Chains A and B, each alone.
Chain A
Amino acid sequence: SQQGEEDPQALSIQEGENATMNCSYKTSINNLQWYRQNSGRGLVHLILIRSNEREKHSGRLRVTLDTSKKSSSLLITASRAADTASYFCACYGNNRLAFGKGNQVVVIP
């Protein structure tokens, strides 16, 4: 399936540290997206990287994509307490998004 699988599934860091999450997938994709979900809320789109791109930045976010390894990573630099959330990678292909199970990130003030 296209569904992404995130690693690690839970991460606890101190405020100011960087947080890195990885995502692996199984089939070809048009693009890969990362979403954030605060507890009990909807998902918020963070960043999209296309299959022909290798790296993308948006503010404190950096995402990489390695299509040969079918993997992506999301880096959050200088984390803040407000970054505490679940982070999902989602593979876009066949006109639909397939989400992974998510990474739970806790940033300790």
Chain B
Amino acid sequence: DAMVIQNPRYQVTQFGKPVTLSCSQTLNHNVMYWYQQKSSQAPKLLFHYYDKDFNNEADTPDNFQSRRPNTSFCFLDIRSPGLGDAAMYLCATSSGTTQETQYFGPGTRLLVL
């Protein structure tokens, strides 16, 4: 089945230690998104790629970066995680022709010690 896959499902890192979260998709969608969701809060868009074009949200901290080496994969890099970065990180995709409906992966729960 076509889907959005996130690995790992749970990630533990140390304060200040770089961490990378990965997302892959078999939907062949043009657009890939990264959201941060803290407990009992709305998902917050960090950035998205339309093909190779990177679009950063204005309030996304510089600590967060992303890479999209090909259509199928997208990575979220947190350069120096702080305690406040502990959250669920959701990857989503949408078709380039109708960007409206988004398809989400199961998320990666990040814990910062």
Chain A interface residues toward B at CB < 8 A: 3, 30-31, 33, 35, 40-45, 48, 88, 92, 95-102
**B90 & A43 in contact (Cβ 8 Å cutoff):** yes
Q: Give Cα A54 to B48, complex, Å.
A: 30
The smallest beta-carbon distance between B72 and chain A, in angstroms, is 18
Q: A42-B90, A43-B43, A102-B42 are in contact. Are A48 and B100 (CB under 8 A)?
A: yes
Chain B interface residues toward A at CB < 8 A: 4, 6, 40-45, 48, 88, 90, 92, 99-107, 109
Q: Give Cα A66 to B45, complex, Å.
A: 26
**B106 & A31 in contact (Cβ 8 Å cutoff):** no
Give how many A-B residue pairs fall within 8 Å (CB-CB): 48
Q: Which of A33, A44, A99, A101 contacts B40 (CB 8 A)?
A: A101
Q: Which residue of B lies closest to A9 (CB)?
A: B40
The smallest beta-carbon distance between A24 and chain B, in angstroms, is 14
**A42 & B106 in contact (Cβ 8 Å cutoff):** yes
Q: Give Cα A43 to B90, complex, Å.
A: 9
Q: Which of A42, A96, A97 contacts B105 (CB 8 A)?
A: A42
**A33 & B42 in contact (Cβ 8 Å cutoff):** no
**B101 & A96 in contact (Cβ 8 Å cutoff):** no
Q: Which residue of A lies closest to B4 (CB)?
A: A42
Q: A40-B109, A42-B90, A101-B40 are in contact. Are A96 and B45 (CB under 8 A)?
A: yes
Q: 30 pairs across A/B with beta carbons < 8 Å?
A: A3-B42, A33-B100, A33-B101, A35-B104, A40-B107, A40-B109, A41-B106, A41-B107, A42-B90, A42-B92, A42-B104, A42-B105, A42-B106, A42-B107, A43-B43, A43-B90, A43-B102, A43-B104, A45-B102, A45-B103, A48-B100, A48-B101, A92-B100, A95-B99, A96-B45, A96-B48, A97-B102, A99-B43, A100-B42, A101-B41
